[in-house]
């Protein structure tokens, strides 16, 4: 299911043909919980009614959704299911990169078992020295990254290759260039870009629905308005370590078995961060998030 509007769902069949669907009676209760990206069992209808002339002209058909198939994963903001890859877009300037927000989003990707790709966009706004500095900053960063410029067409082929054949969601601060990058990959998408919240108004910005957009070379994407905050709902402090993949090689190498990697002596993780084998800012984020989770647990008592 690629789009939901006013009780109608757009479903694509295996050949990529679109069907405008209702949900079958007993599914009505569940209807609100149908998410873009959901796999459904549906039966194609033959009637023409309910399909507008425009839709019919584009080859849209009718259908009836009979069942929701099991989900691989499920995000709440944006509300989408079965996403395989998070494409995290940060601008090198305007706005400056928010690395902690990046780590929060990467944590969400780990929780939902998604692949992650970092796009450092707007390279046209900075000089070679700043690009070098960013690359040094990303030393031992545990995810692949690309330098891109949606404006200058740099890195677009690399991004396109990464999007091919899978379902991706774009995330990152508002203004980083997510929509512009997607338009550069596929001009046919004609996504709205630029200062959204100021002119179009907050309401429109926040109520915009998630939609899975097909890419001509295969694969689908969800553009999002941007995230400013990712909370750690339902996450326990003990689970945090597993969501930093770069800590995996050090598991069991600290002096204390239940080492939190904060104040304990003989901590292999802290030593590795000090030696630059673990990216030091990622380690700082780990510490900061763990403290946040511990404080939250105290507050709940």
Ligand X SMILES: Nc1nc2c(ncn2[C@@H]2O[C@H](COP(=O)(O)OP(=O)(O)O)[C@@H](O)[C@H]2O)c(=O)[nH]1
User: By the criterion CB under 6 A, which residues form the site for ligand X?
Assistant: 89, 121-122, 124-125, 149-151, 174-180, 193-194, 226
Query: Which is nearer to Zn ion, 206 or 258 (by Cβ)?
Result: 258
DSSP-derived secondary structure letter, 231: -
For residue 62, give both structure tokens: 């009718």
Query: Which is nearer to ligand X, 108 or 176 (by Cβ)?
Result: 176
- Shortest Å distance, C-beta 178 to Mg ion: 5
- Shortest Å distance, C-beta 175 to ligand X: 5
In this structure, what are the phi and psi dihedrals at residue 116, rounded to the nearest 5 degrees?
-135, 145
- Shortest Å distance, C-beta 33 to Zn ion: 40
Residues 6+ apart with CB under 8 A from 102: 88, 90, 118, 172
Output the CA torsion sign for 282, 106, 291, 93: positive
Span near Zn ion by CB under 5 A; candidates 50-58, 112-120, 131-139, 263-271? 263-271
- Shortest Å distance, C-beta 285 to ligand X: 22
**Residues 195-254, interacting with Zn ion (CB under 5 A):** 254
Q: Which of the listed partners (ligand X, Zn ion, Mg ion, none) does 267 bind, with a CB threshold of 5 to 8 Å by partner kind?
A: Zn ion
Give the largest Cα separation in the chain, rounded.
Answer: 72
Q: Which of the listed partners (Zn ion, Mg ion, ligand X, none) does 261 bind, with a CB threshold of 5 to 8 Å by partner kind?
A: Zn ion
CB 24: neighbour CB atoms within 10 A?
15
Q: In terms of Cα–Cα distance, which of 165, 168, 162 is closest to 112?
A: 168
């Amino acid at each position: 299911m690629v789009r939901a509007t006013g009780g109608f769902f757009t479903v694509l069949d295996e050949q990529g043909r679109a069907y405008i669907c209702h949900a079958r009676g007993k599914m009505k209760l569940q209807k609100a919980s149908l998410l873009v990206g959901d796999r459904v069992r549906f039966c194609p209808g033959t009637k023409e009614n309910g399909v507008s002339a425009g839709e019919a002209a584009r080859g849209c058909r009718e259908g009836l959704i009979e069942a929701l198939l099991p989900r691989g994963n499920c995000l709440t903001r944006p509300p989408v299911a079965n996403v395989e890859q998070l494409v995290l877009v940060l601008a090198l300037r305007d706005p400056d990169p928010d690395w902690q927000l990046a780590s929060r989003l990467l944590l969400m990707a780990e929780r939902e078992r998604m692949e992650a790709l970092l796009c450092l966009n707007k390279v046209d706004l900075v000089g070679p020295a700043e690009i070098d500095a960013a690359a040094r900053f990303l030393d031992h960063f545990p995810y692949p990254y690309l330098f891109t410029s949606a404006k200058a067409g740099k890195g677009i082929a690399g991004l396109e290759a990464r999007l091919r054949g899978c379902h991706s969601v774009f995330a990152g601060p508002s203004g980083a260039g997510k929509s512009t990058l997607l338009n550069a990959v596929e001009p046919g998408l004609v996504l709205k870009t630029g200062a959204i919240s100021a002119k179009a108004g907050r309401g429109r910005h926040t109520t915009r629905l998630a939609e899975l957009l097909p890419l001509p070379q295969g694969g689908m994407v969800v553009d999002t308005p941007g995230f400013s905050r990712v909370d750690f709902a339902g996450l326990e402090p003990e689970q945090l370590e597993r969501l930093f993949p770069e800590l995996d090689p050090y598991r069991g190498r600290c002096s204390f078995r239940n080492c939190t990697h904060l104040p304990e002596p003989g901590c292999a993780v802290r030593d590795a961060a000090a030696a630059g084998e673990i990216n030091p800012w990622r380690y700082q984020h780990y510490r900061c998030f763990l403290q946040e989770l511990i404080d939250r647990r105290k507050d709940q008592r």
